[in-house]
Chain A
């Protein structure tokens, strides 16, 4: 399972994407990410699955495109 990181979160992850063991649901994934990268907890971010924002728990498929997005700062 590949997770993409943008903005400040890519600095924290040390990479724009990480390959991780698949998780069945988004809550598990976030828990694993926060264990792996404890600094993440201090930052605000949104989880997207196949480009859609996810709040609450959501089932994941190993082929889903997953990303962590910090608050936007374009324009």
Chain B
């Protein structure tokens, strides 16, 4: 589930292209997580450096997949998360879900993103150029309005 550096648009395009062979899918929901140039106490985020407890993340990811497939009648789930440095504006997370109909793809994608953020041992270090760094803190899941 990991890739070194940012997720390039060619990688995303390739994964979308591969879906064409699944003629039973009527929907594909895609989420892209991007590094945002937040300003924190006067310093701007230039990049995030991602690290992970890789073996544990991989097994928790397998559990996450089982949970999502159990809960939603989807056809496929594809996740890619960056490790190492990803600059502001670049993509660090890709979640792709396919299903026959759109409702389950959309719901499964949303839950997958939430579970990645809350259950996988991955950490982000926000880099402020010459101003140092700060460890990222994930917000609580926002309330659905």
Chain B binds chain A: yes
Identify the A interface with B (CB < 8 A).
4, 6-8, 48, 51, 67, 69-75
Contact with A along B128-145 (1 / 0, CB 8 A): 000000011110000000
Sort A-B residue pairs by CB-CB distance and give the 7 closest, nearest first. Answer: A74-B122, A75-B117, A7-B123, A73-B136, A51-B56, A75-B116, A8-B135
> What is the minimal beta-carbon distance from A57 to any residue of chain B, in angstroms?
21
Contact check: which of B55, B113, B117 meets A72 at CB < 8 Å? Answer: B117
Would you call A75 and B55 a contact (CB within 8 A)?
no
Would you call A51 and B59 a contact (CB within 8 A)?
yes
> What is the minimal beta-carbon distance from B106 to any residue of chain A, in angstroms?
18
B3 at interface, CB cutoff 8 A: no
Q: List, in ascending order, chain A residues with CB within 8 A of B125's CB.
A: 7
Would you call B81 and A75 a contact (CB within 8 A)?
yes
Would you call A75 and B93 a contact (CB within 8 A)?
yes
Contact check: which of B33, B51, B56 meets A7 at CB < 8 Å? Answer: B51
Q: List, in ascending order, chain B residues with CB within 8 A of A71's CB.
A: 137-138
Would you call B59 and A72 a contact (CB within 8 A)?
no
A interface SS class: loop
**What's the interface size class on B, roughly?**
20 to 34
B88 at interface, CB cutoff 8 A: no
Would you call A69 and B135 a contact (CB within 8 A)?
no
Would you call A75 and B33 a contact (CB within 8 A)?
yes
Pull 6 A–B residue pairs with CB atoms less than 8 Å apart, ordered by A.
A6-B53, A48-B56, A69-B53, A70-B135, A72-B118, A73-B123
Knowing A75-B33, A75-B116, say if A51 contacts B50 (CB, 8 Å): no
CB-CB nearest in chain B for A73 = B136
> What is the minimal beta-carbon distance from B14 to any residue of chain A, in angstroms?
22
CB-CB nearest in chain A for B125 = A7
